[in-house]
A = this chain, B = another copy of it.
Amino acid sequence: MAVGQCDFPAMPDITGIRLGTACAGIKQTVKDDILVIAMAEHATCAAVFTQNAFCAAPVHVAKANLPHAPRWLLVNSGNANAGTGEQGMQDALLSCAELAAVVGADANQVLPFSTGVIGMPLPIKKITTALPDAVKNLSEANWDKAARAIMTTDTFPKGVTKVITIAGQRITINGIAKGAGMIQPNMATLLSFIATDAKISQSLLQNCLAQAVEQSFNRITVDGDTSTNDACVLMASDCSAAPEITEDSEHYPVFADAVMTVCKQLAETIIRDGEGATKLMRIVVKEALTDEEAVRVAKTIAHSPLVKTAFFASDPNWGRILAAVGRSGVENMVLEDVRIYLDDVCIVRNGGRDLDYTEEAGQQVMNNEEISVTVILGRGNASQEVLTCDFSYDYVKINAEYRT
């Protein structure tokens, strides 16, 4: 089940970025579950990671290796290697060492990533056995296979591609992502890999990624549960004919905007595939005092089980939205100043139901698959948007039966 059309796009190659997949049989044996990404010699690589205090072993290792000019990513699905203690750290380090041995690199040039069930030992033997196969399959044409290899409860592979022209030369940006549950990313989503053939320094690439993630992956939520394994990586292969993108150049805003667009579109695909989702909700909060306040109100609505079940039922039960805004913890809010809209239908004004509101108008909006909820606080000039999905029987079913 997913909201809207979610076809995987035709992804062009990124020169200097090769992807190889293999089946290690970690949780099942019918799909590839290992992904290796190889970067060209002069590539730069930026990454952001979960802020969950109990982040997984591979997150610790990837953070430590990031300053060592990484050339290889090693990703597995089906097991998160989180809550696995000292053994988990050893397994994450060993997986890097094994890949390094196969390809003739240093172990600290490998960034490891894991996604799947928490608290089970990583089947390291299965992974190392499958590694040579993944390396043998390395190809610039494998974006679709890569997107499939990292899926867990996802119902479709997620990819976005974008081309910009700088100084008359094409730069391509490809991104893939996975994630459907335990989604309230805090710095990055569980997991996204984005690559470009641009030439750009590591420090500028890191700034660019951090800004893009803040306005994209950090503005979505399925269930409010921040994962232990979230990570988002941006690789730049330095293989385009375009000039280097520097901080002061006119080209940086164009590039940064394109990265932002790719991140926002990838984030949206994750919500479209939210566990059990039947509706996509854009929660827009305007006229807040600060961005933080706007996000706080938007996330309170986005996390309310009562709001989410009402949307599942296509029920314009706006009282639940009003109650969520009221409990969001914003001080000195004045109910009389607040307006709330479902798409362009005003539901709340002057402290109560808008005089022109009709159940029919509300019902008509709620019958749509994609709905915006706009809350105008009447306090300031800050605006923020958060994407979420509804709460259905299937969310309960998927998460009640996850380990069976």
Q: How far is the CA of A320 from the CA of B116 in the complex (A)?
A: 12
Interface flags, A61-100, vs B, CB<8A=1, else 0: 0000000000000000000101111111000000000000
Determine how close the nearest CB of chain B comes to the CB of A135; give it in whole angstroms: 30
User: Is A289 part of the contact surface with B, judged by Cβ < 8 Å?
Assistant: no
Do B54 and A310 touch (CB < 8 A)?
Answer: no
User: Is A345 part of the contact surface with B, judged by Cβ < 8 Å?
Assistant: no
Q: How far is the CA of A310 from the CA of B396 in the complex (A)?
A: 9
Do B323 and A225 touch (CB < 8 A)?
Answer: yes
Do A119 and B322 touch (CB < 8 A)?
Answer: yes
With CB as the reference atom, state the residue of chain B lying closest to A335: B54
B residues in contact with A325, CB < 8 Å: 53-54
Q: How far is the CA of A184 from the CA of B184 in the complex (A)?
A: 21
Instruction: Please report which residues of chain A, range 313-356, place their CB below 8 angstroms from some CB of chain B when the two chains form the complex.
Output: 313, 315, 317-320, 322-328, 330, 333, 335, 338, 348, 350-353
User: Is A395 part of the contact surface with B, judged by Cβ < 8 Å?
Assistant: yes
Do B396 and A55 touch (CB < 8 A)?
Answer: no
Q: How far is the CA of A54 from the CA of B212 in the complex (A)?
A: 34
Determine how close the nearest CB of chain B comes to the CB of A83; give it in whole angstroms: 5
User: Is A211 part of the contact surface with B, judged by Cβ < 8 Å?
Assistant: no
Q: How far is the CA of A400 from the CA of B84 in the complex (A)?
A: 38
Q: Which of A35-43, A198-206, A250-258, A298-306 contacts B (4 or more CB under 8 A)?
A: A298-306
How many chain copies does the complex carry? 2
Q: How far is the CA of A312 from the CA of B395 in the complex (A)?
A: 12
B residues in contact with A312, CB < 8 Å: 396, 400
Do B305 and A399 touch (CB < 8 A)?
Answer: yes
User: Is A152 part of the contact surface with B, judged by Cβ < 8 Å?
Assistant: no
Chain A, interface size category, equals 35 or more
Q: How far is the CA of A141 from the CA of B396 in the complex (A)?
A: 43
Q: A315-B402, A400-B309 are in contact. Are A227 and B323 (CB under 8 A)?
A: yes
User: Is A401 part of the contact surface with B, judged by Cβ < 8 Å?
Assistant: yes
B residues in contact with A269, CB < 8 Å: none
With CB as the reference atom, state the residue of chain B lying closest to A118: B319
Choose one: B85, B319, B335, B393; the contact of A351 (CB below 8 Å). B85
Do B54 and A322 touch (CB < 8 A)?
Answer: yes
Determine how close the nearest CB of chain B comes to the CB of A188; give it in whole angstroms: 14
With CB as the reference atom, state the residue of chain B lying closest to A350: B85
With CB as the reference atom, state the residue of chain B lying closest to A229: B323
Instruction: Please report which residues of chain A, range 192-237, place their CB below 8 angstroms from some CB of chain B when the two chains form the complex.
Output: 223-228
Determine how close the nearest CB of chain B comes to the CB of A138; give it in whole angstroms: 32
B residues in contact with A353, CB < 8 Å: 83-85, 119
With CB as the reference atom, state the residue of chain B lying closest to A85: B352
User: Is A392 part of the contact surface with B, judged by Cβ < 8 Å?
Assistant: yes
Do B182 and A225 touch (CB < 8 A)?
Answer: no
User: Is A139 part of the contact surface with B, judged by Cβ < 8 Å?
Assistant: no
B residues in contact with A15, CB < 8 Å: none
Q: A119-B319, A393-B396, A397-B393 are in contact. Are A327 and B226 (CB under 8 A)?
A: yes
B residues in contact with A182, CB < 8 Å: 306, 320, 323
Q: What are 20 sample pairs from A and B whose C-beta atoms fall under 8 A apart?
A: A52-B326, A52-B327, A53-B325, A54-B325, A55-B326, A82-B322, A83-B322, A85-B353, A87-B352, A118-B317, A119-B318, A119-B352, A119-B353, A224-B303, A228-B319, A305-B399, A310-B399, A310-B400, A393-B393, A393-B396
